[in-house]
Amino acid sequence: MPARSEKPPLLELLANRRMVIALLCGFSSGMPLFFLYQLVPAWLRDEGVDLKTISLFALVSFPYTWKFAWAPLLDRLPPPLLGRRRGWALITQIALTLGLAAMSLLDASADVERIAWLAGIVAFFSASQDIVLDAHRRELLDDHEFGVGSSLFVNAYRLSTLVPGSLGLILADHLSWSQVHLVVAAFMLVGIATTLWMPEPEVHHEPRSWWRSVADPFIEFIGRGGWRAALGLLAFMLLYKLGDSMATALITPFYLDVGFSKTEIGTVAKAATLWSFVAGAALAAGLLGRFGVNRSLWIAGFLQLATILGFAALSEVGRDSTLLFVVVSGEYLGVGLGTAVFVTFIGHAVSRQHTATQFALLTSFAAVPRTFANAAAGSLIEGVGDWQGLGWTGYFLFCTALAIPGMVMLWWIAPWNGPEVSAVATKPARSARSARSARSARSQ
């Protein structure tokens, strides 16, 4: 068994306990998000709610875009049990289990407003769980493990969609929606069991005061390359996954509108997701190991573009189970690969001293399109007033165009032949004293 400072073979790396923890945490992290983005829209659409109202439900995920605001609190105040990371993880997971189960008490046709409020509460605890699990993963894994660990985390995150997006839809053809919500909520027990089993990572940085716990992560982040570099990196967070995020915003209602039954969607999604999960995890780990983060971002970006065009093709062809399998496979392979590489990039861009807050900051900006732009998806598709809208095909072509600016930014953020990970993300901050010394040396 090599020391952790060495780089073990890939198979040995995949088999260690830390990778299993990353895998299980990814499942727990993805479950509530896909509940909100796949099962709730399908539930509402099945009960006759219009697309414009359903797309506005994207706004309930507002906490994902502001989670950096309370991330310092989770860093500063450890719960009385299990430690700083595990304690908060357990609290959020228990709250999520109860929140998902509480959906079974509501009627989609009569309680839309109550569903929206409860979905917002679920989103808050889901975002809080993400803060804790992202920080835990970055602190638990060594640098040489982080790419593979992130690939497993993200692909398990995507695999968790099988519960609300496949099992839930199949069950909805045979059980009441209330029973479906209870079954889906029970799967949060996976996260609770993982939290009780996983170790608490070492504390790399203990803030000296409340003010320092809030200010230090932002000062360090901006101090690496100045305001311009920091804003450029945040802009990249917004744009890189904008196209595929919007394309999948109403994906389950899209499948229903094309003419597929809930059982067809669930069955085909299950088959497509299982193989693409295995392939995506292997491909992401292989790409990152062979090409590095920069080039992997380019490759994944082009695959994401192709995936969006697959949705447009399905919209034109109509109800075709074979094409549905191909499109869903592409979604989980291309989008999953892009997310794995993107999260690895973010992990290398954060300081180990301020893991939770900086990880939350960057992933919050990445979630902005999913929250605000997705809320307009229904109006773009169905139209507003006299405008007839883009329709599904036009909408997916529009999403393809939105993916291009993020690809253009790669020339600066992660150049193909540039240093690994871009200097924009990794340039260390200089202290005021070292800066003054440098200016003094230049003047002599």
Q: Which of 190, 68, 126, 152 is nearest to 339 (CA)?
A: 152
Per-residue confidence band for 281, with pLDDT thresholds at 50, 70 and 90: low
Q: Which of 175, 157, 49, 37 is nearest to 104 (CA)?
A: 175
pTM of the model: 0.68
Residues in Cβ contact with 314 at an 8 Å cutoff, skipping those fewer than 6 apart = 258, 320, 323, 324, 327
Whether residue 156 has pLDDT greater than 60: yes
Report pLDDT digits (tens) over 158-187. 788 888 888 888 898 888 999 999 999 999
pLDDT, position 110: 80
CA R_g for the chain: 22
pLDDT, position 56: 76
Does the domain at residues 19-201+210-428 carry the CATH identifier 3.20.20.450? no
pLDDT, position 380: 85
List the domain boundaries for the chain: 19-201+210-428
Spell out a b/e string for 260-282, using b for 16 or more CB atoms within 10 Å of the CB, else e. Answer: bebebbbbbbbebbeebbebbbe
pLDDT, position 431: 38
**Most confident region among 4-18, 121-135, 293-307 by mean pLDDT:** 121-135
Q: Determine contact, residues 255/246, Cβ cutoff 8 Å.
A: no
Whether residue 424 has pLDDT greater than 60: no
- How far apart CA 350 and CA 346 sit, in angstroms, is 7
Report pLDDT digits (tens) over 23-62. 899 999 999 988 988 888 888 888 888 777 887 777 777 7
Q: Which of 118, 137, 133 is nearest to 19 (CA)?
A: 137
Q: Residue with structure tokens 């005021």?
A: 432
- How far apart CA 130 and CA 28 sit, in angstroms, is 9
Indicate the average pLDDT of the chain: 79
Q: Determine contact, residues 269/166, Cβ cutoff 8 Å.
A: yes
Any idea what the Cα angle at residue 235 is, between residues 58 and 360, rounded to 5°?
60
Report pLDDT digits (tens) over 244-258. 878 877 777 888 888
